[in-house]
Structure 1
Amino acid sequence: MSLPAGPRRGVVLTDALRLSWLRLIRSENVGPATFRELINRFGSADAALAAIPELAARGGRWIGICTESAAEEELARATKLGARFVCLGEPDYPLHLRPIDYPPPVLAIMGSAACLQRPTLAIVGARNASLSGIKLTRMFAVGVGEAGYVIISGLARGIDAAAHEAALPTGTVGVFAGGLDRPYPKENRPLMRKIVDGDGALVSEMPFGWTPRAVDFPRRNRLVAGLSLGLLVVEAAQRSGSLISARLAGELGRVVLAVPGSPLDPRAAGTNRLIRDGAVLACQPADVIEALAPLTGAARNRDDGDMLFDEADEERLQDEPSDDERARIIEALGPVPAALEDLVAHTGASPAAIQLVLLELDLAGRLERHLGGLVSVLL
């Protein structure tokens, strides 16, 4: 059985525009949220790149901007490896990633981008998986894959690798914590080649040449969850990356499912707790398919628009805060997360003026963004 892919709407970027987008997202302190704020305010990546030095200086420091030559070099490395960059709003951008809060504006993809338009399930779990956990993972990956779903995972040892291997005939996507030219762990390189050679893909939002660090894996886990309609945890200890993935999936509105295990096995402690806290109990592939069925239809019918920006927001550009307003806004911020509407009420400044100050602080590395649009300053 094969479920139909979702609509492939959007606009294909020119080479020049793609280069500008890559320069912007590779510039220092520019993440997905900051990228969106810059494009919303200035209307294009080129205009945003020109404005960054002054904005960051107002926030308190100078930052590095990705040069045109550096971006061109990364594009060349991607081409040499057989990868390409897909930008938010383009037809090949992953269907289920588009509507999340602050999706990565640029993704490096190697393999079949078409599989990222199909219904998807993430399967994650322990690296030190038991034989039973490996067997269960294969059962779920095969059963759900044969029902038309692409299996997403993080290419780690144990459960991740078992899920990818079992889903090779039906389609699987591996998500990197580093650049696509920095595979981790190295022993999974043959598996990665099988994924690309089949009906699958490898995906990363990180730059080519980027070696993954411990802090990069939660970001990878968010991408795994965002690419999927639901996330199934097979084995997980009480403190594990798989539980972080489950939390992120819940925050993104994904269905969280878990396979129960023996109370005597510490690798089942996390999954049993997830079930106790409301995760869907999954004992067989049919349980997963039933839980995802309503979301599958909704995803196919969703229209997210082309999500590209062409013109600057003139009202925002003209709404510059005065020195007194800027001082009041910065003084109102602290280590406790605050909402934009509370800052407006407290300072009397306009939302556009406050957003500009937040952008300046963000580019200077002094702002932290939280779930729900809350912000705080780093002391």
Structure 2
Amino acid sequence: MDAISTRQELTDTERRDRLRLIRSDNVGPRTFRSLLNHFGTARAALDRLPELARRGGAARVGRICTIDEAEAELDACLRQGVQLLAPEENGYPPRLASCEDAPPLLGVRGARETLMQPMIAIVGSRNASAAGLKFAGQLAHELGRAGFVIISGLARGIDQAAHRASLSSGTVAVLAGGHDRIYPPEHIDLLGAIVERNGAAISEMPLGHEPRARDFPRRNRLISGASLGVVVVEAAHRSGSLITARMAGEQGREVFAVPGSPLDPRAAGTNDLIKQGATLVTEAADIIQAVGPIMERPPSASLRESDEELFAPAPESHDRDQIIALLGPTPVSIDDLIRISGLSPAVLRVVLLELELAGRLERHGGGMVSLA
């Protein structure tokens, strides 16, 4: 099993401070993690945000979430039955915790113990065929009987079929919006059944957040990140399910694809995945056999990269200028910036933090960065 037996619990004050940090301007999951690596605690990082942003060239310091705002959100979560969990806490999916862009606080509703079990993601077309819906349900049911929790995105089509078939064995719905803004609305009852029947719902978005188009790829990385592998049942070209499969590959997860007729456009994406090396799936045993060795290597989640990252000194202005000169609109890897600049990793990461908090840096997958 994936469950990590030795887990910490945040104090109320640390949870509130972490919530303030992630809800502040220009702080995303990767920036949050870097700030914690550098300064040790969320409170220390909050104190340094204005200085870092000014050093990065910000004309105006971004908004910092207040204590009152954070406490109001925590109270609202309590009323909704939502717990905000950190990666080191019980109930936070262990494999998701090991991702570099794991949400610093994950909103969880339902059975926390279910989220600690090994998960398989099943995703696919919203406009699925009858055969695709039947096979997705069959896979989910058989994987559930084998001890796996099914995770998906609560969407119409394949997602819905996978959730319904695994209600009794355990299923997790990943939301693109807040816990009180369910999409699609007709799946509110399905989500209620999931939570009531030993399943769970998770979201990184605050309550009241209406899901937008750009939120679904962010949601998809949680689906793939929490799982041992992603099964794509039906997906046309340019399908959102293919984004999930790509993210799974970047996160080191297994990618599985169910073959379909070359005449059906809903199978074009899955057939292409198989050509690109995804594991072909015709029965649950194909998945179970592939993930068996992975389950023997439990993930290790750590919020700190190394001790030298803590309390790194402020970079010299010429070091900052050198990094800015090397950056541009085209993404470049952090490793290349270290190699070309000759600067230490600690100094480089502080410069990148400054630029990001000033709104001048954009982070991409695979450790790539560019000027915003």
On whether the aligned pair clears a TM of 0.5, the verdict is yes
Question: Does the residue aligned with 1:319 lie in a helix, a strand or coil?
Answer: coil
RMSD (Å), alpha carbons: 1.8
| Aligned counterparts, 1:247-326, within 5 A | 247-299=246-298, 302=299, 304=300, 307=302, 317=311, 319-326=313-320
Alignment check: 8 A CA contact 1:236 1:242 kept: yes
The CA distance in 2 between the partners of 1:5 and 1:363, in whole Å, is 35
Question: Does the residue aligned with 1:133 lie in a helix, a strand or coil?
Answer: helix
Question: Does the residue aligned with 1:123 lie in a helix, a strand or coil?
Answer: strand
Shift in CA distance, 251/342, structure 1 to aligned 2, threshold 3 Å: closer
**Structure 2 portions without partners, runs of 5+:** none
Select the residue among 17, 22, 32 that pairs with 1:20.
Answer: 17
Partner of 1:235: 234
TM, length-normalised to structure 2:
0.95
Matched, 1:133 2:127: no
Question: Does the residue aligned with 1:141 lie in a helix, a strand or coil?
Answer: helix
Give the aligned length. 369
Shift in CA distance, 193/318, structure 1 to aligned 2, threshold 3 Å: closer
User: Which moved further from structure 2: 339-348 or 253-262?
Assistant: 339-348
TM, length-normalised to structure 1:
0.93
C-alpha deviation, 1:238, in angstroms:
0.8
C-alpha deviation, 1:341, in angstroms:
4.3
The CA distance in 2 between the partners of 1:130 and 1:293, in whole Å, is 30
Counterpart residue type for residue 112 of structure 2: A
The CA distance in 2 between the partners of 1:316 and 1:142, in whole Å, is 47
User: Which moved further from structure 2: 222-231 or 343-352?
Assistant: 343-352
The CA distance in 2 between the partners of 1:123 and 1:315, in whole Å, is 38
The CA distance in 1 between the partners of 2:75 and 2:260, in whole Å, is 47
Measured against aligned partners, the alpha-carbon deviations of 1:129-179 in whole angstroms (never above 9, x if no partner) come to 111111111100101111000000000011101100110000000000111
C-alpha deviation, 1:335, in angstroms:
1.9
Counterpart residue type for residue 22 of structure 2: I
Matched, 1:154 2:153: yes
Matched, 1:47 2:44: yes
Counterpart residue type for residue 332 of structure 2: A
Alignment check: 8 A CA contact 1:282 1:288 kept: yes
Alignment check: 8 A CA contact 2:121 2:230 kept: yes
Question: Does the residue aligned with 2:108 lie in a helix, a strand or coil?
Answer: strand
Counterpart residue type for residue 24 of structure 1: L
C-alpha deviation, 1:338, in angstroms:
2.7
Question: Does the residue aligned with 1:97 lie in a helix, a strand or coil?
Answer: helix
Alignment check: 8 A CA contact 1:42 1:313 kept: no
The CA distance in 2 between the partners of 1:335 and 1:87, in whole Å, is 33
Measured against aligned partners, the alpha-carbon deviations of 1:76-97 in whole angstroms (never above 9, x if no partner) come to 1111111111111112221221
Alignment check: 8 A CA contact 1:9 1:90 kept: no
Matched, 1:31 2:28: yes
Measured against aligned partners, the alpha-carbon deviations of 1:236-280 in whole angstroms (never above 9, x if no partner) come to 001110000000011111111111111111101111111111111
Alignment check: 8 A CA contact 1:153 1:173 kept: yes
Alignment check: 8 A CA contact 1:150 1:172 kept: yes
Shift in CA distance, 56/294, structure 1 to aligned 2, threshold 3 Å: same
Matched, 1:342 2:341: no
Partner of 1:58: 55
Partner of 1:10: 7
Select the residue among 362, 369, 372 that pairs with 1:375.
Answer: 369
Counterpart residue type for residue 142 of structure 2: G
Question: Does the residue aligned with 1:317 lie in a helix, a strand or coil?
Answer: coil
C-alpha deviation, 1:313, in angstroms:
6.0
Alignment check: 8 A CA contact 1:8 1:92 kept: no
C-alpha deviation, 1:348, in angstroms:
4.2
C-alpha deviation, 1:50, in angstroms:
0.9
Partner of 2:327: 333
Quick one: percent identity of the two aligned structures? 53
Partner of 1:102: 101
Measured against aligned partners, the alpha-carbon deviations of 1:313-355 in whole angstroms (never above 9, x if no partner) come to 6875352222222222212211233333433444444332221
Counterpart residue type for residue 8 of structure 1: S
Counterpart residue type for residue 170 of structure 1: S
Question: Does the residue aligned with 1:179 lie in a helix, a strand or coil?
Answer: coil
Question: Does the residue aligned with 2:214 lie in a helix, a strand or coil?
Answer: helix
The CA distance in 1 between the partners of 2:53 and 2:37, in whole Å, is 17
Question: Does the residue aligned with 2:106 lie in a helix, a strand or coil?
Answer: strand
Alignment check: 8 A CA contact 2:154 2:174 kept: yes
Alignment check: 8 A CA contact 1:321 1:349 kept: no
| Aligned counterparts, 1:159-238, within 5 A | 159-238=158-237
